[in-house]
Structure 1
Amino acid sequence: MYYHFSNLFYHIETKSGTGIFPLDLITGSVLASTIPLIIGILVSSKIKGKNLFIGFIIGALFFLFFDLLKQTSGISEARINNIIEVANYLGFMIGISVFFPLIFSKEVKTNLYIVYVWALLGVGFHSFGEGSIIAYDFLTGETVITLTQVISYSLHKFAEGLAIGILLYETSKEIRDVVISFLLSSTPFIVGLISSLYYPTSELSTIFFSIAAGSTVFLLSYLLTRNKINDKLLLGIMIGLSFIFFAGVLHSI
């Protein structure tokens, strides 16, 4: 069973064409992206056992980092051209270093807030790239999506929401901040999706993925140096790696 992106919820195949506004593509993609994200944010507010779930974040970030690195560094076959590769490298360095100086000589709560903000922006950059890729694939007419891929993508977004929420609730539990977190992490996906429908390019998405990859290195460095290694943290890392790996396996089925 499969669906073209142009008819995500229908057993109908159509050709992608100019002048057609794919409302079903946008609706289906946005729902698959935003609903798991907000569920992850809300679920994280009920979580007990901080070390276990910090470990989950670290494990998920490890897998996400290697996946993003493969897409943007030329390790895979997806090399584009020298200019884009330089832009990807600059984006990666921005992701690593832009907030790094700010976490020195700051109090712990301020540091945590900075890390949370960068995690939120990192998810936003990643989401923009995902939206761009989905729109680009739709316009090229090459991508067919399966139900297992929808589930895989939803699990991935749930993990992102969980990570955002765990960091968010360490700094604030106000409804306003929860709503802002959701909007800042989900809106870039919609912007990337719609903008690429009118200006399709795969190069732009890799630059945003590079910034997201850099932000994962920043977050991993911070979390690994500020949390004591124990059995719960290690168990969480293994669960996080296994969870995202499972989502990746589903995507390939």
Structure 2
Amino acid sequence: MTVLSVNVNKIAVLRNSRGAHDPDVVTAARACLDAGAHGITVHPRPDARHIRTDDVFALAELTRSYGVEFNLEGNPFAPPRDGYPGFHALCAEARPAQATLVPDGDGQLTSDHGFDFVRERDALREQVSTLKALGCRVSLFADAGADLSAAAASGADRIELYTGPYAEAYASGSADTQLALFAETARAAAAHGMGVNAGHDLSQANLGRFLRDVPNVLEVSIGHALIGEALYAGLEATVKAYLAILDGR
């Protein structure tokens, strides 16, 4: 079964745009969990453009109280700075069920590529080992077609397929080639003993096709599209619509 982790970063973007407390990230996350979501994802960035350190700790407490997964994303190589203690420090305090490592820089609007596993294998191995010692399952952001033998050599438990290229191809009506590449990568991950997650630009429109064609997807992390769709239909109805796609594919 594929599970749904809702990324609530965009709730924090709305809150921060006014510099106050509303909309409340924890209240939104609770609404998603009450609607049946299987977990919550956030990706705090060093510039605190959306999720802040205090949000991470509050969401860790919320997900523990619900007995569901908390997935914390971030770049483990980004140095600490004022207001951001560093990814490892956040994980050490929050103890997320899953730590998803993403190679994004400060200037990126959003995550847009996976790791070069061959070049970064040794550096990632050290990061993965430290996080697994904290009790985290570790997932690595990966492009379709990446070298999965090098990814597996890092010791990570899973990859998260960066699905932006698929979503773009789907929107243009030419998804077949991308789907074949993603399916091949998912099978390669399984052959190397790694689980498969997926996320980025997945939506109600394109999720079903992706899951029908790409095998062994354990988890999807969806935020931008889900929160946008919820502006019209509400969080409860939107989360349930995604769960129906997961159940009916």
Q: TM-score range by the shorter chain?
A: under 0.3
Q: Which has the higher helix share?
A: 1
The structure whose Rg is larger is 1
Q: Which has the higher strand share?
A: 2
| TM-score, length-scaled by structure 1 | 0.27
| TM-score, length-scaled by structure 2 | 0.28
